[in-house]
Amino acid sequence: MKLKIDEQRCKGCNLCTTVCPYNIFQEGRKLNERGIIVPILDRPQRCTNCRLRHLYGRQLCGACQMICPDQAIYWVEEDPYSEESVVIEF
């Protein structure tokens, strides 16, 4: 799975940057076309849900998605040949 922020919904509150145990969300720097500074993702392939969702067959962690007041955080199925492959860190 691949972690995404929907730029059409995000209002840039930065709550996601405070809850992720891996600090994947980092405060953004650039305004987008809607005038919002959307957080940037630092190596999102580390996300628990990205790595293990298929193994467990259910949503894992999800702290960022639950606290996001704008329902902007979601995951998409990953293209198996994309460059950001799943890396399991121990």
Partner 1 sequence: MSTRVFEKWYREDRLPHIFCTGCGNGTVMNCAIKAVDTMQWEIDDTIFISGIGCSSRAPGYITTDSLHTTHGRALTFATGVKMANPDLNVVVFTGDGDLSAIGGNHFIHACRRNIDMTVICMNNMIYGMTGGQGSPCTPVGKISTTTPYGATEPTFDLAGLAVAAGANHVARWTSYHTKELTKAIETGLSTEGLSFIEAMVQCPTAYGRRNKLRTVTDMVEWMRTHSILLQKARRMEAEGKSIPEDFFTVGEFIHRQRPAMGVKR
Binding positions for partner 1, rule: CB under 8 A: 1, 4, 8-9, 11-15, 17-18, 59, 63, 65-77
Q: Return the residue of 1, 45, 53, 72 that touches ligand SF4, per CB under 6 A.
A: 72
Q: Which of residues 13-52 bind ligand SF4 (CB under 6 A)?
A: 13-16, 19-22, 24, 39, 47-49
Given the complex with ligand SF4, which of 62 and 83 has the nearer CB atom? 62
Residue matched to tokens 């709550």? 15
